[in-house]
Homo-oligomer: A and B are copies of this chain.
Amino acid sequence: MNYAVILAGGTGTRFWPFSRELEPKQFMHVLSNNSLLQNTIIRLSGIIEPENIFIISNKLYLYELKSQIKTLKVPDSNIVLEPDARNTAAAIALAASLILAKDKEAVMLVLPSDHYIRGKKEFSSCIKSAIKCARKDFMVTIGIKPQDASTGYGYIKTAKPLSGLGVKCIKVSKFIEKPAFALAKKYAIDKRFFWNSGIFIWKASVFMEELRKFLPDMYQIFKDVKKIEQVGKKWFSIKPISVDYGIMAFSKKIVLVPADFYWTDLGSWDALTKILPKDACGNVSKADFLGLNCRGVSVFSRSARFISAVGVRDLIIADTPDAILVCNNNNAQDVKKIVDLLKVGRRKECISHITEKRPWGEFTVLQKGIGFKIKLIQIYPKKRLSLQRHTKRAEHWVVVSGCAKVTTSGKAKVVKANNSIYVPIGQKHRLENPGNSVLRVVEVQTGSYLEEDDIERFDDDFKR
């Protein structure tokens, strides 16, 4: 059988302020109604059965992942949560051992979750060719014909085509790190060179064999693993290394199947603007935008704000309710540096959006003032918050849509839309949505201290 392993633990920083630590790039919806992760799954239809698609990620993203895969038939139990991030070799080794435990002959497809691909049919036939090669015990990588002299990608140097497999496939001679521009220019016009897409196809057993050869310490950890729990504390002894550096650089079994679909890793805002349709002046607008005498300006917004630009060139403007970026197209790679500085400054603008997700729904802080804080809370159908108590704040709840079940001091009460209820300081309380539609509550907190850490939980459906 064929399996897919989607790597979805990344914390991409180059799409800040849209991407945040708690809402990384793979969950972004800039290009379509589906996120990049969702499109990665959808693209596998007809190749891999949904129950054979595994997602390797990080516990921070569990509820977001569950909500994103809900309609895509991938079972929640296929989400594999790493104890922490140890780079791609460990993530793939973990997935390979879990898959091998199910199916000794398994072919596994390894896919990044945050890339952009155009051409579903071409993708499909390329992957099917790669699977054929993998069945012959090759380690297959998908190579992209360079579109320009990019210095943002690793390159793969190929040798001679392999015949007799019935598919187009080329022997790989070398994996090359991101090159300097002078080298990239040479590679881009040399037919032997391809971009490294990070998409790999191999038998789980063949991968484990190569792991044994080139990363024997890691192999020892995973060789008999059938369930993630078996890894235990050994996980934390793993040396983080990418599969490219740890295995692909050394394996003699590698072949390349050239892609005939359009691919970009969407490494920056600039890469995103390249694939979007533009107006006659080269402008892109995904916002309530008015530009006068602008050229090459790309505007993205996650707020309701009106954005205007006058007489500017080659800019990216990315707007969110709490942070805005104005960036020269040529400096899009440096957005990462802004995020690094925000981290140093312990600023929340690099961590989360003003709308924060929770397993039961989400909330948005609308206003903070001296002695008060106003939140809009949305609770999914049939979900409830923990039974909790605050020692420094009282809460007023006005139900604006849906119907709430509110428990205070052990007594439950139904609060309908256009009604309100008061939770005094120190009172145990619980807010629940018993209905079938989203419950929206405006919460006005009053008190001397109004941070999220003033919370004592007594019972929680989500074991927090």
CB distance from A249 to the nearest CB of B (A): 33
The answer to whether B323 touches A446, judged by C-beta atoms less than 8 angstroms apart, is no
Most chain-B CB neighbours within 10 Å: which of A305, A324, A342? A324
- Taking CB atoms, residues of chain B closer than 8 Å to A315 are 312, 326
- Taking CB atoms, residues of chain B closer than 8 Å to A317 are 326
Is A160 in the interface zone, CB < 8 Å from B? Answer: no
The number of times this chain is found in the oligomer is 2
Please name the residue on chain B nearest to A338 by beta carbon. Answer: B308
Contact residues, A28-61 vs B (CB, 8 A): none
Is A77 in the interface zone, CB < 8 Å from B? Answer: no
Known: A367-B366, A400-B372, A400-B444. A326 touches B306 (CB 8 A): no
A331 touches which one: B311, B394, B444 (CB < 8 A)? B311
Interface string of A393-405 (1 = CB under 8 A from B): 0101010110000
**Interface class of chain A by DSSP:** strand
- Taking CB atoms, residues of chain B closer than 8 Å to A321 are 305
- Give the complex CA separation of A381 and B116 in angstroms: 58
The answer to whether A396 touches B376, judged by C-beta atoms less than 8 angstroms apart, is no
Most chain-B CB neighbours within 10 Å: which of A307, A335, A442? A442
The answer to whether A325 touches B310, judged by C-beta atoms less than 8 angstroms apart, is yes
- Give the complex CA separation of A318 and B328 in angstroms: 17
Interface string of A328-360 (1 = CB under 8 A from B): 101110110110011000010100000000000
Is A370 in the interface zone, CB < 8 Å from B? Answer: yes
Contact residues, A365-385 vs B (CB, 8 A): 366-367, 369-372, 374, 376
Is A145 in the interface zone, CB < 8 Å from B? Answer: no
The answer to whether A292 touches B337, judged by C-beta atoms less than 8 angstroms apart, is yes
The answer to whether A442 touches B440, judged by C-beta atoms less than 8 angstroms apart, is no
Known: A310-B334, A367-B376, A376-B367. A446 touches B422 (CB 8 A): no
**Top 9 closest pairs, chain A to chain B, by CB:** A311-B331, A311-B328, A372-B400, A310-B327, A398-B444, A306-B323, A366-B366, A309-B326, A418-B446
20 A-B pairs besides A308-B323, A372-B400, A417-B446 with CB distance below 8 A are A17-B308, A290-B338, A290-B341, A306-B342, A306-B349, A307-B326, A308-B338, A309-B327, A310-B325, A310-B335, A310-B338, A319-B324, A366-B374, A369-B376, A371-B400, A372-B440, A372-B442, A394-B418, A396-B398, A418-B446
Name 7 A/B residue pairs within 8 A (Cβ), A-sorted.
A292-B334, A292-B337, A306-B347, A312-B315, A369-B376, A370-B401, A398-B446
